[in-house]
Homo-oligomer: A and B are copies of this chain.
């Protein structure tokens, strides 16, 4: 890898330019209005794989959005790395809170990113992090230093629960055969504190609809006598957590695997300052489950968050209406031991059971996924750790993340290999938020680090 640094220096403007072009396409998987843009993005990804050195790159139709597959097989006897990423992005709203249009990328310097950061939806999650792997392959092809076979599986439904990726994997197990799965869709603690994500939370995402009267009513003529679905939905949501912010759904915690006090002590050693944490978010206080630290609440404990709520009149001014319906999108982050399908069923049963006769309730399970934990003693983790040591001159910290990549646990189950989560984003990159961005330093550092993973993984797994 002698000349990787100079190769990156020579090409970094192009690397940024190419990513910028990819970010201009609004690949919003949740919104069917963007179906065309999804396909356009898939085609762009396919082309980039071919340019980077894949002998074969194809777009595979699924019942949902297509999957882009590419591969470069150099030697059947070498280990094979399967790179997973996604080209779809979260919806950008609320649009009014963006400083630039979410699909018109802008480069700006920030305190954390003096070298500049690319501001756009998907800049970090996951177009930017996915594209690091494409550019790393370009370097390894160019310098003829590719040490493993490589396969890419870039999907378009991660932000909506990877609904059809399982369908694709089932039908392509052989094609996808690999020795390790490499993913950059997580973050690291800070630019000078590299970390590798060793755990992810599971997810159960649900939409509820509460119906009261068959039409919107005048709140004067009926108010007080007819159940108001918004008031009742508020009561139902409020009752899902108790005064200690424990979740009250019967059986919810039954299968939670608690960490040993040993493990919790180790977690507590990670660098963290609660004052900084609060100041960054401009909150007077944190808020969560009694008996757990902020780091624990955000990683090893399950949660219940309302992601969206709406009902009645939400326009300008006043409307004295007693609405017919109220809605909420509710998601639960789950931890190892919890089965998301079982939790979804428990939620449904409980939520229906607490509805008063004044309303009817419909609970629509949306999507979900299992939590995941990687052991740190396998060659994949060790190779990643060594790669960070090489480029950051520091041993990365193993860290459980609160996020979810619902499909990860399925990879291990279906393809039998370990998943290594090498993330180069930062918590402050505002993924899923307005003004999402990705530091150019982080982007290039990822491109520099990834080739070492291939090198060390090949060495460690040599037969």
Q: Which residues of A contact B (CB under 8 A)?
A: 29-32, 90-91, 93-94, 97, 159-161, 187, 201, 203, 205, 212-228, 230-235, 237-239, 241, 281-289, 294-295, 297-298, 301-323, 326-329, 331, 333, 356-360, 366-367, 401-404, 427, 430-435
Contact = CB atoms under 8 A, between A and B. Distances in A.
Given A97-B215, A239-B238, A308-B314, A285 B432 contact: no
Contact of A309 (B161, B221, B230, B358): B230
Contact of A329 (B231, B233, B313, B329): B313
A205 B320 CA distance: 8
A254 to B, nearest CB: 18
Contacts of A307: 219, 230, 312-313, 318-323
A224 B239 CA distance: 16
Contacts of A308: 230, 311-315, 319, 321, 323
Given A205-B320, A224-B333, A317-B30, A281 B217 contact: yes
A180 to B, nearest CB: 24
Contact of A225 (B32, B294, B318, B326): B294
A220 B401 contact: yes
Contact of A238 (B235, B327, B427): B235
B320 A331 contact: yes
A322 B316 CA distance: 24
A159 B220 CA distance: 12
Contacts of A235: 234, 237-238, 241
B319 A30 contact: yes
A223 B305 contact: yes
A358 B221 contact: no
A305 B228 contact: yes
B285 A219 contact: no
Number of copies: 2
Contacts of A281: 213-215, 217, 222, 226
Residues of A contacting B: mostly:
loop
A360 B93 CA distance: 22
Contacts of A328: 230
Contacts of A237: 230-231, 234-235, 238
Contacts of A241: 231, 235
B97 A234 contact: no
A231 B427 CA distance: 23
A244 B307 CA distance: 29
Given A31-B315, A316-B32, A333-B220, A306 B432 contact: no
Contacts of A306: 228, 230-231, 234, 311-312
Contacts of A318: 30, 159-161, 205, 307, 329, 331, 366-367
A314 B327 contact: yes
A91 B329 contact: no
A435 B217 CA distance: 11
9 smallest beta-carbon distances between A and B, as pairs: A30-B317, A227-B287, A220-B403, A287-B358, A224-B303, A238-B238, A308-B312, A285-B357, A214-B282
Contacts of A317: 29-31, 91, 160, 366
A98 to B, nearest CB: 11
A239 to B, nearest CB: 7
Contacts of A231: 237-238, 241, 304-306
Nearest to A317: B30
A297 to B, nearest CB: 4
A272 to B, nearest CB: 11
Point out which of A233, A234, A316, A323 has the most chain B C-beta atoms below 10 A from its C-beta: A234
